Structure formats: structure tokens, C-alpha cells
Amino acid sequence: MATGRFFQEANLPEQKSYGNGADGSLLFPVVLSPITNTDITVFEEATRLEKQWLESLLQKSGVILFRGFPVTSPSDFNDVVEAFGFPEMAYMGGRAPRTKVVGRVYTANESPLDKQNPFHHEMAYIPDFPSKVFFFCEEEPGIGGETPIVLSHIVYEKMKDKHPEFVAQIEKHGLTYKKIICDEERPMSTSGRSWKSAYMTDDKNVAEQRAAELATKLEWMENAVKLVTGPLPATRLDKENQRKTWFNHLVLSNTGPMHDSIDNQDTYVELGNGDPVPDIHVIKDCLKLMEQECVAIPWKKGDVMLINNLMVLHGRQPLLKPPRQILASLCK
């Protein structure tokens, strides 16, 4: 693969090789390093100049990890994100507890880091999701805390091979998601954002309008609200690559009957026709498959990871030894 004038491809032992097509084998993820020692302004300028090439690389590979560039602070990261020029995506309707750090940079997820965050496409539970997600390693994890990634079309293809009836059912009906969120934040949960924060208002009528734009109905409860979203497609077509991706929130969701309690922090999923999702063993199998196919590269301070959110699922491994500070920025 040709490299740019400023970037060279690097190899890491964790990368997976998917060999096919006229381009020969493709490494997942692509890892880019600077050709020579550089400073942050040169990196930004190179990004602007090579934007088209970087975008086509992302379109082929799904993820680019930039390693060895002098990105040292949240504001450096913000400048790098700006250099790509993708429009910013507001975190409207998103469920992770997050705090703005600077510009368009936020904490990744403030739930306790010793908890695993299973594989997901960012905001797959609403119709308006980011096309790209940037992560930045401000503080390298002690032990653990990787952000594993997996190519979603591989998950789709393997699921279709192994469980064709299940896939046909969810594709036919779509999926409806239900979740209770509170008036106040629940920072102990990976999806513990309050409705005021999720819809960026204290006004219930405004929240209802904003939720409706995201195919979500709000049912008010005491000190909380129940969100009902969908039906949404259970898979999506990656038009550029002409293949389907496993773009849903199934492995993070409860398939049983929902209890309407304020203490219930789970996301629930059912088929779009109101029937329960068939056979939860299939979902467990899906999670196993994602774990087999994923790549988990230990973070290095200064790493920037750019993910095509339609092509790739990501998660978070439990942190075994602090510290860890990963920041995020979402693009339309």
C-alpha cells in the first residue's frame, strides 16, 4: 500500500490480516507513524494535505491508529480532530456519562474503569449516529483498559452463516430499544446519563421534541423517564464497500421482559413487531465471535485512533491497574 509523504505504515503484532481483493491483504487496523521526527503543527498540516488519502485508507481498513505523533494534550488532540475537517456531532441522545474537556473533545465514558464495556457501534440505539469516532490516549493505562475493535461485516457474515434464521428474523422486523434514564446522572453506569443531559434541556416538552427527532418516545415516570426507540434496522449497509454490518445494540441489551423500576439500568431490546428477540444463546455466541475476531492493541500515550463507526464495533476492556485517560470526539 502506498503511504503519504509524511506517514508510513507501521506493523504491530496484534494486527489481523484479511487477505482478499485486488488490493491484496489488508491489515486491521492500519497503523501510521511519522516518517521523520515532527511537531504537532506539521502533523496537523500533513493531515490537511493528505486528508483524501487518509479517508480512503479509513474506508478500506475501518480503523487508523496514529502512533508516535507528538499529540500530548487534549487541545493538541482537538487541533488534530479539527485538521481532519469532519463536522462535529453533538452527543444528543447519547447515553454514556461524558464531560467536555476542550473544544470538541470529551471524556470517553466515565463509568468505573474496572467494568467491561461490551462491543458496540457508537449510538447504534438511535437513528442518528456518528460516522466517525476519534479516541486519544492522554494517560496510558497501567494494565488492561484496551479499546478492542472488530470489523462488523465479519460479525455479520459469520452470524448469517451460523444463525441464518435468527438474522432473517431481526432483519425482517428490526429492533426496538427501551431504557429508563433518570432525572440525575448515574455515573456508576456505562449508560447512566440523565435525560436532562442526554437531551440538553431541563424542559420535558423540549426533551420530547428532541427525542422524537431520534425516533424515541418518552414515557415519564417519577424521577425518571422510559425511552422507547425504534424499530431501527438490525443491520446496515456499508454502501462504499457494498456489505452489511452488524449495526445493533443486541449484545449490550437485555432480551427479557422489562421491569419499570428507576433502579433498572439495563437497555432492553425486542423485535420491531413487539415479539421477544428469539434465542438469547445466539447473542452469547455473537459476543464470543466478536471476542475471537477482535484486535486489542495496548494504548500508548499520544495514540490517536480514528474509527469508521459504520464499519467497526469497539468496546473497553476492564482496567486492571490505573491510571487511564482516554478522550473522545464524535463526527457526523
CB of 226 to Fe ion, least distance (A): 23
Contact predicate 326/71, CB 8 Å: no
Residue with the three cell numbers 468496546: 315
Shortest gap between Cβ of 187 and Fe ion (angstroms)? 16
Q: Per the structure block, which three cell numbers stand in for 267?
A: 437497555
Nearer to Fe ion, 110 or 122 (CB): 122
* Ramachandran region, residue 308 (left: φ > 0; alpha: ψ -120 to 50; beta: rest): beta
Residue 40: CB minimum distance to Fe ion, A: 26
Residues near Fe ion (CB under 5 A), total: 1
Q: Which is nearer to Fe ion, 28 or 125 (CB)?
A: 125
Indicate the residue among 34 and 94 with the shorter CB distance to Fe ion: 94
Angle at 24 between CA 57 and CA 161, to 5 degrees: 90
Shortest distance in whole angstroms from residue 305 CB to Fe ion = 12
Least gap, CB of 72 to Fe ion (angstroms): 24
Rounded CA gap, 167 and 153, in Å?
A: 13
| Pick 46 or 304: Cβ nearer Fe ion | 304
Report the chain's terminal Cα–Cα distance, integer Å: 28
Nearer CB in complex with Fe ion: 271/305: 305
Cα–Cα distance measured from residue 252 to residue 283, given in angstroms and rounded to the nearest whole number: 9
Residue closer to Fe ion, measured from CB, 7 or 91: 91
From the CB of 121, what's the least distance to Fe ion, in Å? 8
118 versus 322: smaller Cβ distance to Fe ion: 118
Smaller CB separation from Fe ion, 218 or 311 = 311
Q: How far is the CB of 251 from Fe ion (least distance, A)?
A: 13
> Considering beta carbons, is residue 190 or 216 the nearer one to Fe ion?
190
**DSSP letters of 256-288?**
SPPP--TT---EEEEETTSPBPS-HHHHHHHHH
DSSP 88: B
Task: Return the residue nearest Fe ion (CB atom).
Answer: 122
* 51-61 vs 40-49: helix crossing angle, rounded to 10: 80
CB of 299 to Fe ion, least distance (A): 15
The amino acid sitting at 332 is: K
Which parts of 43-62 interact with Fe ion (CB under 5 A)? none
**Residues 6 or more apart in contact with residue 208 via CB below 8 angstroms:** 218
Task: Report 154-213 residues binding Fe ion (CB under 5 A).
Answer: none
Q: Which residues inside 239-298 make contact with Fe ion, applying CB under 5 A?
A: none
Q: What is the dihedral of CA 204, 210, 216, 220, to 10 degrees?
A: 0
The least distance separating Fe ion from the CB of residue 315, rounded to whole angstroms, comes to 7
Three-state secondary-structure class, residue 20: coil
Residue ranges of E strands in 57-162:
63-66, 100-102, 105-107, 117-120, 132-139, 143-144, 149-151
| Window 92-131: residues binding Fe ion (CB under 5 A) | 122
Give me the residue label for grid cell 488519502: 53
Q: Provide the binding-site residues for Fe ion, judged by CB under 5 A.
A: 122
